[in-house]
Structure 1
Amino acid sequence: MAAALGGLGLLQGRVRLAAAAAATSSLGRPGRRAPVWGGGAAALLSAGRSYGSEAKEEEELRVRYLDDEHKGIVVLGLNRSHAKNALNKNLLKMMSKAVDALKSDKKVRTVIFRSEVPGIFCAGADLKERAKMHSSEVSSFVSKARATINEMANLPVPTIAAIDGTALGGGLELALACDIRVAAASAKMGLVETKLAIIPGAGGTQRLPRTIGVSLAKELIFSARIVDGEEAKSIGLISHVVEQNEAGDAAYRRALALAREFLPQGPVAMRVAKLAINQGMEVDLVTGLAIEEACYAQTIPTKDRIEGLLAFKEKRPPRYKGE
């Protein structure tokens, strides 16, 4: 799947998709401390926003492995409050390192990508850092950002973007790279606002058509038409729209509930299903069906499939032991 970082997106009240000039664009467990992936000043989670381990203030990326009824769910939290979670070299490096570890961890069942900073998901690229870069460094940075987002998209388990605030530029691209997107609405407006400015060559023209369809993507980009949150949901840009709560984590709570729905399913089946869908969407139907058959064959000898059949026969929830 092609990765995309270019594009200017804003998620916070109503959905607006617009073309813009390139000159104005920018690109746990409870009780267990999460690994430190980065540095920088940041605010601690409030009690209402914490579902996993508490992390140190200086962590730019918080990685939490949840426990108990949420075991198998991993939360990646952006935590650069002083920079509105803008993507810099260090944060991209930490994200890549975290994703690399998750993709080979068989105990991981679902990954939720969220912000730990109230009111902001991600402000896109760190333009202050970019202003100090040589032109050759900018190209390298964009390539790294694109590769990191692509690594996220290719995680073998389901991924959910919990958007509880502004998603600008690369922030919206991070959300588009996830399998499911949940956005919080303003309690006053009852809408979700998104601005998306597509920058030719930067990648944003690729993920949007793959998400909502080629014809509709062209229409929205060419017309700069404004649509409200419900329409954004209806066209598939956003999977779920929820009213924001006082804690400011309504999207995260909904994402967590979705992730729990995935937990009873067989881990092998979930992985091959995602693989079949992702690869099948890039080829013709006949080839896609062949991919599905090959993926299904991988589930035949597994303990997951045997347990699933027994559970169905006995009319009980499956009890998976792992892979």
Structure 2
Amino acid sequence: MNFENILVSKNNGLAQVIINRPKKLNALNKATIEELNEAFVMLEDDESIKAIVLTGSGDKAFVAGADISEFAHFSIQDGESLARQGQEILFDYIQNLSTPVIAAVNGFALGGGLELAMACHFRIASDNAKMGLPEVSLGVIPGYGGTQRLPQLVGKGKAMELIMTAGMISAEDAKDWGLVNYVTTQEELIPLVEKIASKIMRNSSVAISAAIKAVNANFNDGVNGFDVEIEKFGECFGTEDFKEGTTAFLEKRKPNFPGA
């Protein structure tokens, strides 16, 4: 599948999705969001893919924000539709993907860019990365899940400060806040992400998918995350991966998970 705004590659079960608009600092526009949706749908349907890395092209930006020129003239209804559609086809979609998605934040992650990184299952940043939600400086608020995911990750107080000041924080501050898991050099960013992804890929993809659903359930209103955990835990006992994992353990060998 050919894309205009993104690059997709696959290598031994690991996929890499690169937002490729370097002249726009990889800013998100409607076309890019739609292409990202197509790519993630394709990768989710590919049983050979066990993990996905999402990053930006170049060394300046992961995603420097949304393309403001596209929505500067929008009405109230247009704005609501923009946020709702974007959340449904990309941000919520990534969060609920059964395949693990790691954000490799390689520079500016602002506005929609930070929201995209937060939709991923976890984040690793280069030491030149800067993160923030500057929307209130434009007279609007984060609309792609930023007001919801940021407090979940860093706490209400820190989230309120970052949103209301429209400021940016460094990669090290983001790590201290719990927004990213690791900070490394630009050169070592992708190798580190791939190293962690390789550890993930050795495990049961079926169990990982169940774990993602259980963890996410804790953040859904009206859903008892413990009940979901119990349900998913029980379902694991009916999988081929469980049979292989327990058999391999008892036989003192490495498991060869069939992914079923």
Which of the numbers 36, 45, 60 marks the counterpart of 1:104?
45
Using the size of structure 2 for normalisation, the TM-score is: 0.86
Say yes or no: does 1:261 pair with 2:202. Answer: no
Q: Which runs of 5+ in 2 are unaligned?
A: none
What is the alpha-carbon distance in structure 2 between the residues aligned to residue 284 and residue 139 of structure 1? 24
Instruction: Report the AA paired with residue 93 of structure 2.
Output: E
Q: 2:65 maps to which residue? A: 124
Q: Which moved more, 1:165-174 or 1:193-202?
A: 193-202
Whether the 8 Å contact between 2:27 and 2:67 is mirrored in structure 1 is: yes
User: Which aligned pairs between 1:173-212 and structure 2 lie closer than 5 A?
Assistant: 173-186=115-128, 192-197=129-134, 199=136, 200=141, 202=143, 203-212=145-154
Q: Which deviations, in whole Å up to 9, do the C-alpha atoms of 1:4-31 show, x marking residues without a partner?
A: xxxxxxxxxxxxxxxxxxxxxxxxxxxx
Instruction: Report the AA paired with residue 167 of structure 1.
Output: A
What is the alpha-carbon distance in structure 2 between the residues aligned to residue 300 and residue 261 of structure 1? 23
Relative contact order (C-alpha < 8 Å, sep 6+): which is higher? Answer: 1
What is the alpha-carbon distance in structure 2 between the residues aligned to residue 222 and residue 126 of structure 1? 21
Using the size of structure 1 for normalisation, the TM-score is: 0.71
Q: 1:302 maps to which residue? A: 239
Whether the 8 Å contact between 1:163 and 1:252 is mirrored in structure 2 is: no
Whether the 8 Å contact between 1:79 and 1:116 is mirrored in structure 2 is: yes
Q: Which deviations, in whole Å up to 9, do the C-alpha atoms of 1:276-321 show, x marking residues without a partner?
A: 0101233689x32221110011111211111111221222221112
- Call closer, same or farther: CA 1:219–1:126 in 2, change over 3 Å: closer
What is the alpha-carbon distance in structure 1 between the residues aligned to residue 133 and residue 165 of structure 2? 12
Say yes or no: does 1:83 pair with 2:49. Answer: no
What is the alpha-carbon distance in structure 1 between the residues aligned to residue 164 and residue 71 of structure 2? 28
Q: 1:291 maps to which residue? A: 228
Whether the 8 Å contact between 2:122 and 2:181 is mirrored in structure 1 is: yes
Instruction: Report the AA paired with residue 158 of structure 1.
Output: P
What is the alpha-carbon distance in structure 2 between the residues aligned to residue 283 and residue 141 of structure 1? 23
Q: Which has the higher helix share?
A: 2
Whether the 8 Å contact between 2:133 and 2:142 is mirrored in structure 1 is: no
Which of the numbers 275, 290, 315 marks the counterpart of 2:252?
315
Q: Which deviations, in whole Å up to 9, do the C-alpha atoms of 1:44-80 show, x marking residues without a partner?
A: xxxxxxxxxxxxxxxx1112121xxxx2211111112
Give the percent of matched residue pairs that are identical in Structure 1 and Structure 2: 32
Say yes or no: does 1:239 pair with 2:181. Answer: yes
Instruction: Report the AA paired with residue 119 of structure 1.
Output: K
Whether the 8 Å contact between 1:264 and 1:317 is mirrored in structure 2 is: no
Q: Which runs of 5+ in 1 are unaligned?
A: 1-34, 40-59, 187-191
Deviation, structure 1 residue 104: 3.1
Say yes or no: does 1:64 pair with 2:9. Answer: yes
Which of the numbers 171, 189, 193 marks the counterpart of 1:229?
171
Deviation, structure 1 residue 201: 6.5
- Call closer, same or farther: CA 1:201–1:231 in 2, change over 3 Å: closer
Q: 1:50 maps to which residue? A: none
Which of the numbers 85, 88, 93 marks the counterpart of 1:151?
93
What is the alpha-carbon distance in structure 2 between the residues aligned to residue 225 and residue 123 of structure 1? 13
- Call closer, same or farther: CA 1:198–1:317 in 2, change over 3 Å: farther
The number of aligned residues is 253
Whether the 8 Å contact between 1:164 and 1:252 is mirrored in structure 2 is: no
